[in-house]
Amino acid sequence: MNKRLKVVLVSALVVMAGVAIWQLWFAREPTFQGKPVRFWFRQYVLSFSPEREQALETMAEIGGNAVPFLARMLNRNESRLTQAYRSLWAKLRPSVKAWLPAPIEPPRLHTDAATCLSRLGQSFNTAVAPLIEAAKHSHPETKLAAVRALRDIGPQTKEVVAAVAQVAATTDVGIRREAFFALQALSSSTREKSVLQPAIPVLMAGLSDQDGTIRVRAISALKALGPDAKEALPPLQSMLRNLAEDKELAFEAAHALIRIDPSFSESVFPFFLRELGELKDRRLILPLIHALPSFGSAAKSAVPALIQLLGDAEEQVRTEAIGVLGELGELAKDAVPALTEALADKAAPVRLEAATALRRIDPAQAKTVLPALLNVLENNSIFRRLAARELGLMRAEAAPAIPLLREALYDPDPLMRQRAGEALWRIDPGEGPTIVPVFIEILGHRDIASSERLSLVRLLGEMEATAWPAVAVLRDHLKHRDRKTQLAAARSLLKIDRRTTPEAVAFLIQYLERTDYWDRDRAAELLGKLGPAAKAALPALRRAAIGEDESLRAKAIDALKDIGKEKATEAGTR
């Protein structure tokens, strides 16, 4: 084959690959800012922070319409043509590469698609099914990405738990570890423990796994299940007896025993108390002291040992011991002198934890802890947010902090400004007119964390009429990409200005009728609280009351009853 023919063939291949890539990235899809989903996904895959995070949030704004494309990317296999293009692309000159899309390895494609679906799954239930399917994928990276995404998604269902449990039964120890970590997280975060039933046989098998990490995670998940995991009691008792073999495992097993069946407290607590006094390995002390509040009033006997730990050289041990003393509350009154000394500790986290613990043990200690908190607020750039939060919890007793908090309203860090505003409002609601413009300015930032935005929107609702200048920005948040933020904005608008009720009801009706939203029951609940003002929602609530979603049905029925009861009461008073 002569050189000219080779050039022609290579050129043809490049053109064909270019057409294929163009079809991949620029075929018709839902668009945002004139660009299709494929464009934004490509931006996410090939960018670095913060551009990558911005691309992810943009796809969240596109919403459920982006799910079908991401589902295809999640399971996309590399064709021979794409393989050939990737091989050729690596050999091209940089000047030529600049004109062509960079090829993407399938594992990276799958992993990033799973991450995007996880973000969308926090609002849209349609994102869950593709991830459940991907958990069955043969490629390890794809399977892992799906498990991590399912772990992070808001709604937990039996289908999600069953999919993760199936992965936890695989032979690959790395994948098993990740799946057991996901089951541990799901067990801790799920309120309806019945949905975790499919995981119990796998968790029981995990108790005898050869991998120690998996055994610990299985115990932790069963501990979170509480009384629903009674069948795990015999093997956990066996682990407790094998103290000499693995103390960390024995401590976890003991903690799980009392969470599953509190009647074990009487026999387990002496074991904890003895070990707390004898242990020298600080790594093992931490899980031991974390379990102490589970013993209720009996834990008072452990207070002297915890006080002893306040003189430990390790900052983390001191901090954790103080935190547990705070959890014990009045039971730890004997620790007040030692905690007062800890207010002068060289480590800021220890000082902050000591201030919190003292207030929890004895609210009258507010004046004692105030100087330590003011010192952190004024001098420690890393922990001053936490100090501001603690001062806010003290409310009027923290009035001397007001000048410093006012200064912090102009801090370069938006999160510090937010914490200062929150604290000021709780200390003195009269500061509201100064705080609200700061909150409005922060909400105008596109890149603040969704959890912080949600907290601010809710706080504006708490401020009621004081937050009237924020009505416009809250109206904008009814269209925000995050569903929790949308609902919080509706609730806050209703608290701030009842004249926004028709607008909020219209939004809630629309929310209620979006079958791809997983949290529609929250909208139904809010409509019910509005009483007769929500009568326009009656048709939508009636439809929801006969739908397939069990939680939504219950909330819709309650809302219909509440609206009807209000109307009947109103009619009786005329």
Which residue(s) pair with 31 in the sheet?
Answer: 36
Separation CA 397–CA 359 (nearest Å): 12
**Looking at residue 193, what is its pLDDT?**
85
Q: Of 255, 266, 207, 195, nearest to 231 (Cα)?
A: 207
**Looking at residue 8, what is its pLDDT?**
43
Range in 81-95, 307-321, 505-519 the model is least confident about:
81-95
**Looking at residue 69, what is its pLDDT?**
93
Q: Of 151, 170, 152, nearest to 161 (Cα)?
A: 151
pLDDT band at 3 (very low <50, low <70, confident <90, very high): low
Range in 49-53, 180-184, 414-418, 504-508 the model is least confident about:
49-53
The reported pTM is 0.82
Span 214-237, mean pLDDT?
94
Q: Is the pLDDT of residue 361 over 80?
A: yes
Q: Of 191, 120, 144, nearest to 482 (Cα)?
A: 120
**Looking at residue 154, what is its pLDDT?**
65
pLDDT band at 565 (very low <50, low <70, confident <90, very high): low
**Looking at residue 569, what is its pLDDT?**
40
Separation CA 469–CA 447 (nearest Å): 22
Q: Is the pLDDT of residue 83 over 90?
A: no
How many angstroms from the chain centroid is the CA of residue 170? 27
pLDDT band at 273 (very low <50, low <70, confident <90, very high): confident
Separation CA 514–CA 382 (nearest Å): 43
- Give the whole-number percent of the chain exceeding pLDDT 90: 63
Span 439-462, mean pLDDT?
93
Range in 92-106, 159-173, 451-465 the model is least confident about:
92-106
Q: Which 3-state string (H, E, C) describes 406-462?
A: HHHCCCCCHHHHHHHHHHHHHHCHHHHHHHHHHHHHHHCCCCCCHHHHHHHHHHHHH
The residue ranking higher by pLDDT, 49 or 463, is 463
Are 151 and 143 spatial neighbours (Cβ–Cβ below 8 Å)?
Answer: no
Domains of the chain: 1-154 (no CATH), 362-427 (1.25.10)
The H or E element containing residue 36 is strand 35-36
Q: Is the pLDDT of residue 25 over 50?
A: no
Are 294 and 259 spatial neighbours (Cβ–Cβ below 8 Å)?
Answer: yes
Q: Of 455, 450, 377, 379, nearest to 416 (Cα)?
A: 377
The H or E element containing residue 31 is strand 31-32
Separation CA 190–CA 184 (nearest Å): 10
55-71 pLDDT tens trace: 888 888 888 999 999 99
Burial 219-250 (b: 16+ CB within 10 A, else e): bbbbbbbeebbeebeebbeebbeeeeeebbbb
Span 416-441, mean pLDDT?
97
Residue found under tokens 């007119």? 433
Are 392 and 426 spatial neighbours (Cβ–Cβ below 8 Å)?
Answer: yes
The H or E element containing residue 469 is none
Q: Is the pLDDT of residue 151 over 90?
A: yes
**Looking at residue 245, what is its pLDDT?**
67
- Token pair in block for residue 232: 């795990």
Are 59 and 44 spatial neighbours (Cβ–Cβ below 8 Å)?
Answer: yes
Average pLDDT score, the chain: 88
Q: Phi, psi at residue 399, to the nearest 5°?
A: -55, -35
Q: Is the pLDDT of residue 183 over 70?
A: yes
Span 172-181, mean pLDDT?
96
Q: Is the pLDDT of residue 276 over 60?
A: yes
pLDDT band at 114 (very low <50, low <70, confident <90, very high): very high
Q: Is the pLDDT of residue 353 over 70?
A: yes
The DSSP output letter for 517 is: B
Separation CA 468–CA 318 (nearest Å): 45
Whole-angstrom Cα Rg for the chain: 28
Separation CA 383–CA 261 (nearest Å): 39
Separation CA 436–CA 458 (nearest Å): 13
DSSP letters along 304-347, please? HHHHHHTT-S-HHHHHHHHHHHHHHGGGGGGGHHHHHHHTT-SS
Give the number of other CB atoms < 10 A from CB of residue 428. 16
The residue ranking higher by pLDDT, 410 or 75, is 410
CA-based angle 216:218:219, to the nearest 5? Answer: 65
**Looking at residue 572, what is its pLDDT?**
34
377-407 pLDDT tens trace: 998 778 999 999 999 999 999 999 999 999 9
Q: Of 563, 532, 521, nearest to 192 (Cα)?
A: 521
Q: Is the pLDDT of residue 417 over 50?
A: yes
Q: Of 378, 361, 430, nearest to 391 (Cα)?
A: 378
- Give the whole-number percent of the chain exceeding pLDDT 70: 93
**Looking at residue 54, what is its pLDDT?**
83
The DSSP output letter for 124 is: B
Tally of residues, the chain: 574
Are 424 and 463 spatial neighbours (Cβ–Cβ below 8 Å)?
Answer: no
pLDDT band at 10 (very low <50, low <70, confident <90, very high): low
Span 86-107, mean pLDDT?
80
- Token pair in block for residue 429: 């609601």
